[in-house]
Amino acid sequence: MERDDDVYRQDPFLQRLVITNVAEGKTLTDECRGYIAGLGPYLLANSKLKPVCRLYGDHQHAFLATLKPYLADPAFEDVPPHLQLKAAGTSYDCLAVAVPSRCPEILSGGERQLRVAVKDIFRVKGLQTSLNNKAYYSISEPAKWSADLVDSLVVNKAHIVGLTKLSSMIHAREEPMDAVDFLTPFNPRGDGYQSPAGSSSSSAAAVASYDWLDGAIGTDTSGSGRRPAMANGIWQFRPSHDSCSLEEVVTTFPLFDPPVVFSRDFGNIRQLLDSAFDEIQTSGWSSGKAYEVLYLQEYLPVPPGEQMQLIDDFIQDLRLYLPDRDCQGRPVTITKLSLREACTTTHPSDTPDDLDFYLQNVIQETYHYEYNQSSEAFREQYAADHNGSPPYVIPSVQRRWAKGAAVTPAQNEEALNKLAIYKNWLQETLFERGTEALVVLPVANAEPNYRDTVTPSPEDQSALDELFLSPILGAPDIVVPLGDISYQSRITNKVEYLPVVANLVAAPGKDHELLRVVETILSKSGRPTVVAMGSRMFPGVL
């Protein structure tokens, strides 16, 4: 039992055991002792047995608030408020995180009850919301209800252990040197001084750092889940849009704003999805169609060469091991495709054949416009409460608000129409080919990005960027850890390693089939399904 649970230990919990009402001359059997060992530990207080938790220090500074754990009874119609733990950790400037024992589930043989962290944009009943911004937190009231996703996790017996940090006001790609209100978390990979990326940086960094945390919930609007998954070297699944209610979630652009799940263990991804998402897509592949892997030339190959080799090896595994649905032995096709070239011959009527020209300013006129609009109530309330003073937000947020404010409603409507036309064209071009297609994408270039270096946030984003492909389509994608590449660290003066991942995208509605494909590839190729915490995903692998 001790090997499976990090909370219960025979020393000290079974050093003193008091048993009452035992007949004279009788002793406990070994079976009874083992049963008692599996139940604990509990504290007797006010004539009630209460579960005991273990406190861990958040030494990577990933959490904004930690919670007193409890299990909700599914028979209750309403989940009670969550209570803030308000306990210090074991090192300076550090919160304590309370985790419950795994003994009850181990003893019962039930499904593992996951310990989960949640990004602080999901309302949690009883707690304020910060968006990693002090001004927002100052006017935030304790939530009257939790986000549907949070309630689903609790009712399905996940343990919500705390709220994680994010990029300030969600939208900005906040690097460590940009942080003003709250310290950016530490990425454990490499030399420990690499950027954790954003916006769901702390969700990913916590999962990569702590073996006592099973998973985390974040969001991904334009790479804010995929980039941290790569930088921190973990699994991430981004479901088809509309798989989960966004009620009581602070959004910036609902069209692009699905929640995502993170874990070090691929096996936890499906359990997290089943626990958190009520409407996860289940449509399967069409029978009689062969698989096709699309290699988009706008995005591949990528430097450096070592990174591309790892991605190419994964593409070859897809070619060799994709499951054969109808047992006809059809070979998997690897197709190199240029979106720009395809547009010159298949572009929709009444639209230009130049994709870059057609999509110019679409992100500013949709995404940034909506971001400015969605923040207006916050700005107005803060100003009303502070004698007209505006709230402080970091410069990149100010610039994006300004970009959005410069867009007229008519421009926004026209840009949304362009986005819808482009989405339909992408769907036809990528997923209506007479095959079951999967798209392989990079997430970013694997290169050092030290946390003490200023990294400018991108000012002009194109809808043609690879990070916008799945958001525009509303399609599921998964970040698959592949391996790492070496670099000479100026922090440690030694060779360290950076994670490399691939991003695999399926057609909208193919969520479970995408998971099944990845599960098959991992099994047949012998690739690991679990990444380690700490400096390397796969320690000992050269």
Distance, in Å, from the CA atom of 396 to the CA atom of 224, rounded to the nearest integer, reads 15
In our burial notation (b when 16+ CB lie closer than 10 A, e otherwise), range 379-396 reads eeebeeeeeeeebebbeb
378 plus 325 within the same structural domain: yes
3 plus 152 within the same structural domain: no
What torsion do the CA atoms of 431, 437, 438, 441 make, to the nearest 10 degrees? -60
Compute how many other C-beta atoms are within 10 angstroms of the C-beta atom of residue 313: 14
252 plus 341 within the same structural domain: no
Distance, in Å, from the CA atom of 150 to the CA atom of 141, rounded to the nearest integer, reads 18
* The model's pTM: 0.93
Inside any domain, residue 421: yes
Inside any domain, residue 519: no
Q: Which of 231-235, 347-351, 409-413, 436-440 has the lowest mean pLDDT?
A: 347-351
Mean pLDDT of all residues belonging to the chain? 89
In our burial notation (b when 16+ CB lie closer than 10 A, e otherwise), range 324-350 reads ebeeeeeebeeeebebeebbeeebeee
236-260 pLDDT, tens digit each: 999 999 888 899 999 999 999 999 9
Q: Which of 243, 276, 309 is the last residue of a domain?
A: 276
Residue 86 has pLDDT above 80, yes or no: yes
What is the rounded average pLDDT of the residues 308-333? 83
Q: Which of residues 56 and 455 earns the better pLDDT score?
A: 56
What is the rounded average pLDDT of the residues 307-319? 96
Closest to 431 measured CA to CA, from 443, 421, 439, 440: 439
Cα distances from 358 to residues 294, 408, 412, 461, in angstroms, run 23, 18, 14, 14
Closest to 140 measured CA to CA, from 131, 128, 123: 128
237 plus 312 within the same structural domain: no
Cα distances from 127 to residues 84, 123, 151, 253, 389, in angstroms, run 7, 8, 14, 24, 26
Residue 69 has pLDDT above 80, yes or no: no
Q: Which of 44-58, 265-279, 486-500, 522-536 has the lowest mean pLDDT?
A: 44-58
346 plus 482 within the same structural domain: yes
Total number of domains in the chain: 3
Inside any domain, residue 524: no
288 Cα distance to chain centroid: 34
251 plus 336 within the same structural domain: no
pLDDT at 380: 98
Task: Tell me whether the omega of the peptide bond preceding residue 304 falls within 30 degrees of 0, making it cis.
Answer: yes
Q: Which of 276, 305, 321 is the last residue of a domain?
A: 276
What is the rounded average pLDDT of the residues 129-138? 98
359 plus 243 within the same structural domain: no
Residue 216 has pLDDT above 90, yes or no: yes
CATH label of the domain that carries residue 334:
3.90.1300.10
pLDDT at 541: 73
Distance, in Å, from the CA atom of 448 to the CA atom of 190, rounded to the nearest integer, reads 9
Inside any domain, residue 432: yes
Q: What is the SS3 assignment for 13?
A: helix
Q: 383: phi > 0 → left, psi -120 to 50 → alpha, else beta; which?
A: alpha
Q: DSSP H helical segments within 222-363, as ranges? A: 226-231, 266-276, 305-321, 339-346, 355-358, 362-363
Closest to 218 measured CA to CA, from 275, 261, 162, 253: 261
Residue 460 has pLDDT above 70, yes or no: yes
pLDDT at 43: 66
328 plus 206 within the same structural domain: no
Inside any domain, residue 252: yes
Structure tokens at 120: 């602080």
What is the rounded average pLDDT of the residues 402-409? 97
Q: What is the SS3 assignment for 71?
A: coil
Q: Which of 67-81, 376-390, 419-433 has the lowest mean pLDDT?
A: 67-81
Cα distances from 335 to residues 283, 293, 430, 513, in angstroms, run 24, 6, 11, 20
22 plus 151 within the same structural domain: no
Structure tokens at 190: 């490499």
80 falls in which pLDDT band (50, 70, 90)? confident
275 Cα distance to chain centroid: 15
What is the rounded average pLDDT of the residues 357-381? 97
Q: Which of 123-137, 188-202, 311-325 has the lowest mean pLDDT?
A: 311-325
Cα distances from 518 to residues 176, 227, 431, 433, 490, in angstroms, run 33, 20, 18, 21, 36
Residue 19 has pLDDT above 80, yes or no: no
Compute how many other C-beta atoms are within 10 angstroms of the C-beta atom of residue 27: 8
15 falls in which pLDDT band (50, 70, 90)? low
Residue 452 has pLDDT above 70, yes or no: yes
Inside any domain, residue 82: yes
Inside any domain, residue 453: yes
Distance, in Å, from the CA atom of 277 to the CA atom of 81, rounded to the nearest integer, reads 21
Percentages (nearest 5) of helix, strand, coil residues in the chain? 30, 20, 50
Strands 333-337 and 291-296, bridge-based pairing: parallel
Compute how many other C-beta atoms are within 10 angstroms of the C-beta atom of residue 218: 28
Residue 65 has pLDDT above 90, yes or no: yes
What is the rounded average pLDDT of the residues 328-341? 86
Structure tokens at 376: 């207006």
Cα distances from 359 to residues 114, 244, 340, 372, in angstroms, run 42, 28, 12, 20
Residue 281 has pLDDT above 70, yes or no: no
79 falls in which pLDDT band (50, 70, 90)? confident
271 plus 319 within the same structural domain: no
Q: Which of 269-283, 335-349, 445-459 has the lowest mean pLDDT?
A: 269-283
2 falls in which pLDDT band (50, 70, 90)? very low
Q: Which of 35-49, 156-170, 418-432 has the lowest mean pLDDT?
A: 35-49
Q: Residue 485's beta-bridge partner residues?
A: 498
Non-local CB neighbours of 228 within 8 Å, separated by 6+ positions: 196, 197, 198, 199, 200, 201, 203, 204, 205, 218, 236, 262
Q: 381: phi > 0 → left, psi -120 to 50 → alpha, else beta; which?
A: alpha
Domain range enclosing 256: 55-276
> What is the full DSSP assignment across 367-414?
IIHHHHHHTHHHHHHHHHHTTTPPPP--HHHHHHHHHHHT--HHHHHH
381-402 pLDDT, tens digit each: 999 999 999 999 999 999 999 9
Identify whether the C-beta of residue 393 lies closer than 8 Å to the C-beta of residue 174.
Answer: no
Inside any domain, residue 281: no
pLDDT at 41: 64
pLDDT at 74: 47
Share of the chain above pLDDT 70, in %: 86
Closest to 238 measured CA to CA, from 51, 419, 472: 472
pLDDT at 7: 86
159-177 pLDDT, tens digit each: 999 999 999 999 777 899 9
Compute how many other C-beta atoms are within 10 angstroms of the C-beta atom of residue 319: 14
Residue 73 backbone phi and psi in degrees, to 5: -85, 120
Identify whether the C-beta of residue 217 lies closer than 8 Å to the C-beta of residue 118.
Answer: yes
What is the rounded average pLDDT of the residues 339-367? 93
44 plus 92 within the same structural domain: no
Distance, in Å, from the CA atom of 480 to the CA atom of 266, rounded to the nearest integer, reads 9
442 plus 504 within the same structural domain: yes
Q: DSSP H helical segments within 169-304, as ranges? A: 201-209, 226-231, 266-276
